């Protein structure tokens, strides 16, 4: 019950809100030196291997069954390890990777258009605004090629041309055509491929699958990750699971914002609990806001739906020139419309990168020129495209997106311009990992969106699927061997079990937390707190951040937290299927993570990628990086709830891609 004591005894927390201390730099000891294109080979060669006959003695826990987790679980099991896997969903086929629409990048150069591993590497480092590791990104680009082979072999039905070969398209403003896709459902098809591979292993008995089971804490014994505490969401039973290594593939933390394009139950508990147990959390303020989402319609809104940004290829974005112009879109004459992206960025127009398009939308709405309910929207108009290409061509290209829009809004986008608004979509930050994808807790690995590694401050379109699968199919299964070989499986008396004092403590922690949530019996629902926190974060730690705003948020978050523990109401018991309890427990972690995000955003006094500080912009309003001071990844060490964390910097070195300021004017 330490936690409760901390929270209620904090008193004047506001005075200390921005405090943090700086610790020793954190160094990635696993990345080999030498030419960047040889590092992955070198690392794989240097890594120790586990004798195939011994692998089944090793148990590996994998939390999550998205692209990264599903791929990792299947591959580790194929290699002979005993995998114990968890997902909160009722089936491993439902993880939110399934909702990715656009596609997956790979440097196949099938189009002979000048693409190469090096170009994908270059684009990704540059797109990440020079806040990612070159070694990691290069490896990602190398592996991208193998991912496509692997997925095709699994039967993923990628789009094909009449000759039977794979089709590609260009995506997200990239000049080469390297994005492989399966209509607007690439994520679904890739995930089902991984799920099917995983299913095969479950049938073979090499993967022990626990669906509807949520990880609630990490067990760290003698400095090594040795297991997890998880709750069976159907019976409410809290259990311990032990392993030789733990892999977190639990996704990102975009739901801190309440409204995001994440699934309703996507949550940060696994990574946040790991952070509390010693894993550093890197660059939490790097969040990606996607410009083309369907705007919210009212207070009841529970989540936001993204529409592929390919819409910007042919749609024109505008708002009325006059403030508060509430005429229907079609009645506003051409000369009273402001095609603001085309006006401000004549070269790129409507195709400027995600962060720039998002901020511009926010700016015009802040000026009072937004459209739709609450003035939180801008028009995305296809009238010109329909005039130019004909309705049929537009229908062929965007039909499914238009249908989706019409279904949600009951408006016909062929005759009335669509309304769009930015929404939180992806989090580049996550648990700090080294080249082996191991966190600062030995034996604890983080893959996919759960780690911070490859996208720097901004992720390019169609790169999330690539990274999830690269980590899951290829990187982790190679690097985890080294850890397991160096830490041979122990059995017998010294092994951990439920009687171990550390385990008892972790178990008691978890049980107390849930008991307390049920015991408060206040007068506010979990959702009401989540919404309040989300609105605060969106306002002050969203698309544009300022020092006063972040300070305000840092003052407010501990107050919400305090109120939460006084007024939360969770009905029912812990020994049953209790969705309110699940939700409330996730909010406990959001309330802490939000604070770290704001602190990270406050400390990073520069603009880069998804992090825009209004204080740091060029005269024409573009994000201005401050490379001399901030060319590092910020890895935060947890101390205690509401206490100053410790900042460990990992200096980033750019040997191949030299930092330049982005310009889209």
Under rule CB under 8 A, residue 111 binds another protein: no
Which of 662, 665, 659 has its CA nearest to residue 623? 662
State in angstroms the smallest separation of the CB of 286 from another protein: 23
Q: Could you give the C-alpha distances from 326 to 240, 319, 408, in angstroms and in order?
A: 58, 11, 22
Interface residues for another protein in 237-256 (CB under 8 A)? none
Do 622 and 606 contact (CB within 8 A), yes or no? no
Interface residues for another protein in 385-414 (CB under 8 A)? 404, 407-410
Interface residues for another protein in 511-550 (CB under 8 A)? 523, 525-528
Q: With CB under 8 A as the contact rule, which of the stretches 146-154, 269-277, 349-357, 607-615 interacts with another protein? A: 146-154
d(CA 40, CA 11): 51
Query: Which one of the listed residues 354, 369, 419, 613 is annotated catalytic?
Result: 354
Quickly list DSSP for 238-295.
EEEEE-SEEEE-----GGGGSSSSS-TT--SHHHHHHHHTT--EE-TT-EEEEEEEPP
Under rule CB under 8 A, residue 146 binds another protein: yes
Under rule CB under 8 A, residue 78 binds another protein: yes
Q: Which CB atom, from 569 or from 626, has the smaller least distance to another protein?
A: 569
Alpha helices in 521-654 (DSSP H): 526-540, 547-567, 579-603, 627-630
Do 444 and 438 contact (CB within 8 A), yes or no? yes
d(CA 637, CA 584): 24
- Contact letters for another protein, residues 600-619 (x by CB under 8 A): --------------------
Beta bridge partners of 238: 231
State in angstroms the smallest separation of the CB of 88 from another protein: 9
Do 543 and 601 contact (CB within 8 A), yes or no? no
Verify whether residue 354 is a known catalytic residue.
yes
d(CA 239, CA 230): 5
d(CA 604, CA 597): 11
Longest C-alpha distance within the chain, in Å?
81
Measured in residues, the chain has a length of 665
State in angstroms the smallest separation of the CB of 71 from another protein: 7
Under rule CB under 8 A, residue 340 binds another protein: no
Q: With CB under 8 A as the contact rule, which of the stretches 257-265, 425-433, 456-464, 628-636 interacts with another protein? A: 257-265
Under rule CB under 8 A, residue 14 binds another protein: no
Number of residues that bind another protein (CB under 8 A): 85
| Among the listed residues 61, 197, 352, 401, the single contact to another protein using CB under 8 A | 197
Under rule CB under 8 A, residue 438 binds another protein: no
State in angstroms the smallest separation of the CB of 569 from another protein: 6
Do 502 and 223 contact (CB within 8 A), yes or no? no
Q: Which CB atom, from 74 or from 386, has the smaller least distance to another protein?
A: 74
State in angstroms the smallest separation of the CB of 535 from another protein: 16
Under rule CB under 8 A, residue 113 binds another protein: no
Which residues are CB-contacts of 366 (< 8 A; sequence separation ≥ 6)?
none
Q: Which CB atom, from 210 or from 455, has the smaller least distance to another protein?
A: 210
| Among the listed residues 86, 241, 473, 636, the single contact to another protein using CB under 8 A | 473
Under rule CB under 8 A, residue 416 binds another protein: no
Under rule CB under 8 A, residue 105 binds another protein: no
State in angstroms the smallest separation of the CB of 526 from another protein: 8
Under rule CB under 8 A, residue 265 binds another protein: yes
Under rule CB under 8 A, residue 302 binds another protein: yes
Q: Which CB atom, from 323 or from 577, has the smaller least distance to another protein?
A: 577
Q: Are strands 59-63 and 281-282 parallel, antiparallel or unpaired?
A: unpaired
Q: What is the DSSP-derived secondary structure letter of residue 99?
A: G
| Among the listed residues 85, 105, 136, 188, the single contact to another protein using CB under 8 A | 188
Angle at 436 between CA 230 and CA 596, to 5 degrees: 60
Under rule CB under 8 A, residue 368 binds another protein: no
List phi, psi (to 5°) of 143: -70, -25
Q: Which CB atom, from 151 or from 364, has the smaller least distance to another protein?
A: 151
| Among the listed residues 37, 42, 305, 363, the single contact to another protein using CB under 8 A | 305
d(CA 197, CA 78): 9
State in angstroms the smallest separation of the CB of 72 from another protein: 10
Under rule CB under 8 A, residue 569 binds another protein: yes
Q: What is the DSSP-derived secondary structure letter of residue 349?
A: G
State in angstroms the smallest separation of the CB of 591 from another protein: 19
Q: Which CB atom, from 71 or from 394, has the smaller least distance to another protein?
A: 71
Interface residues for another protein in 35-74 (CB under 8 A)? 71, 74
Q: Could you give the C-alpha distances from 275 to 76, 221, 313, 538, 636, in angstroms and in order?
A: 24, 15, 40, 23, 9
Q: Which CB atom, from 199 or from 358, has the smaller least distance to another protein?
A: 199
Q: Burial-class residue 24 by CB neighbours within 10 Å (0-12, 13-18, 19+).
A: exposed
Structure tokens at 219: 């067990």
d(CA 182, CA 299): 35
Structure tokens at 75: 């591959």
Under rule CB under 8 A, residue 10 binds another protein: no
| Among the listed residues 42, 54, 116, 185, the single contact to another protein using CB under 8 A | 185
Residues with catalytic roles? 354
């Amino acid at each position: 019950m330490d936690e409760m004591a901390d929270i209620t005894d904090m008193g004047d927390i506001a005075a200390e809100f921005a405090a943090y201390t700086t610790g020793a730099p954190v160094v990635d000891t696993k990345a080999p030196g030498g030419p960047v294109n040889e590092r992955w080979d070198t690392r794989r060669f240097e890594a120790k291997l586990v004798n195939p006959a011994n692998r089944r003695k090793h148990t590996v826990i994998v939390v999550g069954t998205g692209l990264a987790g599903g791929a990792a679980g299947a591959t580790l099991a194929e290699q002979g390890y005993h995998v114990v896997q968890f997902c909160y969903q009722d089936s491993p086929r439902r993880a939110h990777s399934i909702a990715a629409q656009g596609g997956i990048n790979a440097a196949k150069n099938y189009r002979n258009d000048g693409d190469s591993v090096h170009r994908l590497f270059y684009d990704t480092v540059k797109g990440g605004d020079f806040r990612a590791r070159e070694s990691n990104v290069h490896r990602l680009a190398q592996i991208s090629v193998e991912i496509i082979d692997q997925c095709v072999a699994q039967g993923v039905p990628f789009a094909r041309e009449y000759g039977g070969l794979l089709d590609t398209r260009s995506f997200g403003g990239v000049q080469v055509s390297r994005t492989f896709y399966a209509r607007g459902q690439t994520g679904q098809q890739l995930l089902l491929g991984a799920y099917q591979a995983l299913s095969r292993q479950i049938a073979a008995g090499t993967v022990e699958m626990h669906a509807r089971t949520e990880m609630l804490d990490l067990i760290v014994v003698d400095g090594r990750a040795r297991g997890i505490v998880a709750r069976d969401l159907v019976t409410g039973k809290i259990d311990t699971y032990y392993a030789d290594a733990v892999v977190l593939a639990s996704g990102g933390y975009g739901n801190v914002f309440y409204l995001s394009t994440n699934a309703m139950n996507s949550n940060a508990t696994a990574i946040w609990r790991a952070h509390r147990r010693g894993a550093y959390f890197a660059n939490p303020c790097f969040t990606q806001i996607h410009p083309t989402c369907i705007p919210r319609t009212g207070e009841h809104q529970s989540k936001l739906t993204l529409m592929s940004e390919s819409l910007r290829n042919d749609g024109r974005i505008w708002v009325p020139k006059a403030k508060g112009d509430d005429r229907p879109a079609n009645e506003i004459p051409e000369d009273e419309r402001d095609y603001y992206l085309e006006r401000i960025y004549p070269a790129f127009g409507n195709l400027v990168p995600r962060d720039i398009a998002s901020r511009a939308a926010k700016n015009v709405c802040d000026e009072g020129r937004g459209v739709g309910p609450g003035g939180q929207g801008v028009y995305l108009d296809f009238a010109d495209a329909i005039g130019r290409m004909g309705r049929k061509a537009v229908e062929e290209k965007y039909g499914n997106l238009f249908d989706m829009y019409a279904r949600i809004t009951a408006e016909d986008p062929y005759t009335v311009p669509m309304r769009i608004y930015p929404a939180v979509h992806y989090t580049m930050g996550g648990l700090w990992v080294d080249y082996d994808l191991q966190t600062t807790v030995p034996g604890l690995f983080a893959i996919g969106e759960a780690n911070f590694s490859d996208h720097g401050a901004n992720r390019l379109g169609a790169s999330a699927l690539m990274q999830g699968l690269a980590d899951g199919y290829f990187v982790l299964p190679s690097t985890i061997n080294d850890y397991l070989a160096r830490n041979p499986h122990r059995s017998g008396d010294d092994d951990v079990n439920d009687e171990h004092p550390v385990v008892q403590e972790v178990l008691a922690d978890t049980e107390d937390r849930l008991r307390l949530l049920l015991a408060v019996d206040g007068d506010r629902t979990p959702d009401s707190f989540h919404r309040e926190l989300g609105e605060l974060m969106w306002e002050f730690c969203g698309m544009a951040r300022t020092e006063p705003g972040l300070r305000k948020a840092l003052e407010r978050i501990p107050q919400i937290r305090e109120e939460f523990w006084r007024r939360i109401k969770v009905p029912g018991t812990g020994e049953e299927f209790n969705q309110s309890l699940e939700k409330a427990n996730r909010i406990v972690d959001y309330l802490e993570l939000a604070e770290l995000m704001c602190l990270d955003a406050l400390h990073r006094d520069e603009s880069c990628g998804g992090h825009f500080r209004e204080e740091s912009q060029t005269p024409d309003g573009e994000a201005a990086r401050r490379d001399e001071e901030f060319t590092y990844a910020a890895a935060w060490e947890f101390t205690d709830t509401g206490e100053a964390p410790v900042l460990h910097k990992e200096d980033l070195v750019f040997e191949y891609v030299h930092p330049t300021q982005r310009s889209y004017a």
